[in-house]
Structure 1
Amino acid sequence: MVDLGHDAPRAEDATPTSHRAKVPGFVRRHKALTVLVSIALILLIAIGAWLIVLNNQIKDIPRFDADFDRPDRPARVQPEGALNILLVGVDGRGEDVRKRIQEGQTGILSDTMMIWHLSEDHQTSQIVSVPRDSWVDIPGHGMAKMNAAFSWGGPDLLVQTLEDTMNIYIDHVAIVDFEGFRDITKTLGGVPVEMADGTTQDLEGEDALAYVRERHSLPRGDFDRINRQQNFLRQVLWEVTRNGTRANPIKMTGLIGDLSKLLLLDDDWSDGDLRGLGLELVRKGAGHIDWMTAPTNGTGTSSDGQSIVNLDIPKSQELFAAISKDDFGSYKKDHPVAFLPKPENVP
């Protein structure tokens, strides 16, 4: 008599035994596919976790109360999706100037003013520096240097002064504390900058700050410092948006964390807009950027003896009108532009 209890499975056990054997059998037959699916799941979990961290860090970027609206503002003429962003550089030299600005304190000088126009498709940009010593009419105060507007009335008065002078609508303001650049340069492992003597130095920490702060030893003073600041930002953007950095979520998370220590934004800039713009830069890079300085008629002296920059207001208005309409390509064919020199030609 054959003992079926030991030599063959019982009828009621046949189906579950066969089912249990299918899964390991599938894995053995499709090892490559199984590995790919596992990697994909791990990546999805990692990306989801990174997006949560990214979202939290964006929320950590401080805001200030913005009140830019007024009846006589210039019209917003840029295409849907295009942006005019005012970048204001302040140098607290150890002070928490962002907190002072949030509290509405005055007396803070803006060393750097740049208007960044981001095109409708976000793949071309123009960044235009406005010399801080530009002699302009500041509402309620009369003629003075441009950076005095920020000192007297903070971001709101500076926006009003620039909008009235340039006839341009400014969507957002990003105030940059130069002190925070130290952390960004460390996270990047240094920022390679070509020097006037033909060498390339990886500027990091205090060396990077010294590079963007220097003015007195440069042949053209503040004009050369503008070029240095733009050149440094150009190199930082290249390092941040190049493929190696963009593909490294740990480094990108660190950089976004650095930005929360560096930036102060207007409160009209939502977390969603920032997240969308940041993710777009991570995916596509910064696109093509034209760096330049607003047209001027050289330097001079004010009636009270101050050294000033004579801003060419009609030409500046014409430049910003073309930029705002995403028409800079046509403009530069017929007009001279004070472009930022190549890195090797920046003093």
Structure 2
Amino acid sequence: MIWAVNSAWSNVAKVDATPEGERPDSEGRNVLLVGSDSREGLTDEQRREFGTGSDTGGARTDSILVLHTGGGKSTLLSIPRDSYVEIPGNGMNKINAAFSIGGPKLLSQTIEHNTGLKMDGYMEIGFGGFAQVVDAVGGVNICVKNDMDDPKAHIDLKKGCQDMDGKTALGYVRARYSDPEGDLGRAKRQRQFLGALMGKVVTPSTMLQPWKIHSLGKDSEGALTVGEDDSMIGTARAFWAFRSIAKGDGNSVTVPVSSNNLPTPVGSAVQWDETQAPKLFEDLKADRPITVQPDDS
């Protein structure tokens, strides 16, 4: 068992994601999870098949989530990628610009600066890596709430529960033009799918069979990146927390917003609610039950 776990962990890439300088104090543990639009590892044929487009010359964040664990129920928080916030040293901009400008370190620093939550861990998965992981576990069953016909995401899904392979899953979590809630609706689907995926990865049928752990690590090699300071045990605990949330034993929320169409010098952006967002951040910072109503994702 130990050799299989160590073998799988050896396939995980490491990156410096720890902000420098003064950092906030917060109770519990917060792990930043980034879904980047990196095309690294995808062939030209796969880029056409997945509908990811050509290499952009630098990864951007397609999804930003924070997993909070502590003394009570775990909370998975989605941060809309178009949130208009202050990026330390770079003025006001959409939050996903922080990743483009300064990578994981600046994104972590930006989230800490605007939420007061200390980021204790980091996990990143790209387009190609996401599809790899889904296929490595044999697909994931997801219940689609509404018909979704989105040519840009290369999907045409009908309402109802269905098994999704890597290609379909990638389109499902990326689509927003077919969702009446736009970016916020996509954030809900990303949390829904992530929980279901992690739930399948850490099932007893996988974790208790060394050959399955070894196979999963090999098949999804290079799919996952974690912070240089992250431990194997800490990452495993995050996986279990995702699974708990997927089973209903936890909270799934989006940063409360007051506007989805805020005019700014960098285009239309998302504005956080000046009352509800700070209240949510304070609850998480103190590791107490959240007072913001969880959504239906």
Equivalent in the alignment of 1:148: 97
Following the alignment from structure 2 to structure 1, what is the Cα–Cα distance between the partners of residues 104 and 9? 21
Deviations 1:105-140 (A, max 9, x none): x842101100101225xx842110000000111112
Indicate which of 148, 159, 165 corresponds to 2:114. Answer: 165
Kept in 2, the 8 Å contact 1:295–1:338? The answer is: no
1:93 aligns with 2:73: no
Give the structure with the larger strand fraction. 2
2:295 to 339, 342, 347: 339
Partner of residue 3, structure 1: none
Query: Would you say 1:292 and 2:250 are equivalent positions?
Result: no
Tell me which stretches of 4 or more aligned residues in structure 1 moved more than 4 Å: 279-282
1:56 and 1:306 map into 2 onto residues whose CA distance is 45
Q: CA deviation at 1:146?
A: 0.6
Q: C-alpha distance in 1, partners of 2:131/2:239?
A: 22
Query: In structure 2, the residue corresponding to 1:339 is in which secondary structure?
Result: coil
TM-score, structure 1 length as denominator? Answer: 0.69
Q: List gaps (5 residues or longer) in structure 2.
A: 43-56, 147-157
| Distance in 1 between residues matched to 2:11 and 2:237, nearest whole Å | 17
Q: 1:308 aligns with which of 266, 269, 274?
A: 269
Correspondence for 1:69 among 4, 13, 20: 20
Q: Comparing both chains, which one has the higher relative contact order based on Cα–Cα distances under 8 Å and sequence gaps of 6 or more?
A: 2
Partner of 2:236: 278
Structure-to-structure mapping, 1:247-262, within 5 angstroms: 247-258=208-219, 260-262=221-223
Which residue matches 1:51?
A: 2
Tell me the residue number matched to 1:12: none
The answer (yes or no) to whether the contact 1:89–1:110 under 8 Å persists in 2 is yes
Shift of 1:88: 0.8
CA-CA distance at 1:176 after TM superposition: 1.4
Gaps of 5+ in 1: 1-49, 97-105, 342-347
Cα drift, residue 277 of structure 1: 5.2
- Determine what percentage of the aligned residue pairs are the same residue: 31
| Structure 2 equivalent of residue 217 of structure 1 | 178
Asked whether the equivalents of residues 84 and 324 of structure 1 are also in contact (C-alpha less than 8 Å), the reply is no
Query: Compared with structure 1, are the counterparts of its residues 250 and 279 closer, same or farther at alpha carbon in structure 2 (3 Å cutoff)?
Result: farther
CA RMSD of aligned residues (A): 2.6
TM-score by length of 2: 0.80
- With over 3 angstroms needed to count, the CA separation of the structure-2 counterparts of 1:210 and 1:275, relative to structure 1, is same
Structure with a larger share of its residues in helix: 1
Pick which of 218-227 and 303-312 moved more. 303-312
Aligned equivalent of 2:50: none
Q: 1:281 to 1:300 in 2, by over 3 A?
A: closer
- Check the 8 A contact 1:61/1:259 in 2, yes or no: no
- In the alignment of these two chains, the number of paired residues is 267
- CA drift of 1:188 comes to 2.2
- 1:36-81 superposed Cα distances (whole Å, 9 cap, x missing partner): xxxxxxxxxxxxxx2112113213311113441313x212x31xxx
With over 3 angstroms needed to count, the CA separation of the structure-2 counterparts of 1:327 and 1:219, relative to structure 1, is same
